[in-house]
Amino acid sequence: MSRKMLVIGEARDGALRNVTFEAIAAATKVSDGGEIVGVLCGSENLEEMGQEMVYYGADRVVTVQNNKLTTYTSDGFGQAVMAVIEEEKPEGIIMGHTAIGKDLTPKLASKLETGLISDAVDIEETGENMVFTRPIYSGKAFEKKIITDGLMFATIRPNNIKALNRDDSRSGSVSAKEVDIADLRTIIQDIIRKTSDGVDLSEANIIVAGGRGVKSAEGFKPLEELADVLGAALGASRGACDAEYCDYSLQIGQTGKVVTPDLYIACGISGAIQHLAGMSNSKVIVAINKDPEANIFNVADYGIVGDLFDVVPKLTEQIKEIKVNS
């Protein structure tokens, strides 16, 4: 049965996040040939970003531009998206399971009086039903959910559902909708970012992460060099953050970010269960640790027993040589 699907796009620093394109791919799978309608909220560049959503599989895009949507608030974006939902009347809604997605979608689901499947990592068709797979118990197990009635509403974990190939020949309308944003309970005056420079950690294909074994803030420098050579994001365990070796914006784990990169390189990380909860679903895990009994080796695909301050620089040099000779 074909379904009209609404995809809520998300931008950061004036550009669409990759999870938006992944959400379009997920919606395409769920729609069974139905129309894919994107929705974008903000105050600038919406038409350009809307066209990009079309290139990645959306049939058309509705934008809501308003100066009160310059920065995200659940009140403002909730009013804008609800106005589009009421007009479009979709059979399903998909959004990324990001910080904004985790805040916005439960509130929308409550207003719509419908259920919500959060943090889906896979979607497959079984007979007449769409089956959503999501991790539970900090990634130790998975559950499968089927929506049997009502709106099909879900968020997807970044970097798990592959985006469709970009096709610049695709055409679709990008139309603007006027929405009166009123009665905002929260107004953002200023934003102070403490995120790291470079690749977005939650969407990175490669992550180099350090733990207490880096010994100091200075100890992260070899990891930064390796990450730079690989085009990777830099991450950390909670132990490294607690010891003030790095900022908490880099924290990966049960109380930090949950990541699923293609390659995860753990340097000086023992492998506490809280950290494993945030990275154990990475496709390939490489562990570097002096302790051969470290728990991280139990989940690693490849392990190197050695001092990270010897191993990481050598690994960086080898990769540089390969790049030069290739």
User: Annotated binding site for FAD, which residues?
Assistant: 212, 237-238, 251-255, 268-275, 289
DSSP-derived secondary structure letter, 34: -
Distance CA 20, CA 82 (A): 18
Whether 64 and 199 have beta carbons less than 8 Å apart is answered as no
Residue in the structure block whose two tokens are 């974008």: 40
Whether 230 and 319 have beta carbons less than 8 Å apart is answered as yes
Element (DSSP H or E) covering residue 273 = helix 273-279
Element (DSSP H or E) covering residue 64 = strand 60-65
Binding site members: 212, 237-238, 251-255, 268-275, 289
Distance CA 296, CA 275 (A): 9
Whether 211 and 270 have beta carbons less than 8 Å apart is answered as yes
What number of other Cβ atoms are within 10 A of residue 189's Cβ?
A: 5
Distance CA 221, CA 219 (A): 5
Q: Which two tokens stand for residue 116?
A: 């919500």
DSSP-derived secondary structure letter, 145: E
Whether 16 and 202 have beta carbons less than 8 Å apart is answered as no
Q: Residue 192: which residues within 8 A CB-CB, separation 6 or more?
A: none
Distance CA 94, CA 24 (A): 8
Whether 206 and 212 have beta carbons less than 8 Å apart is answered as no
Whether 8 and 93 have beta carbons less than 8 Å apart is answered as yes
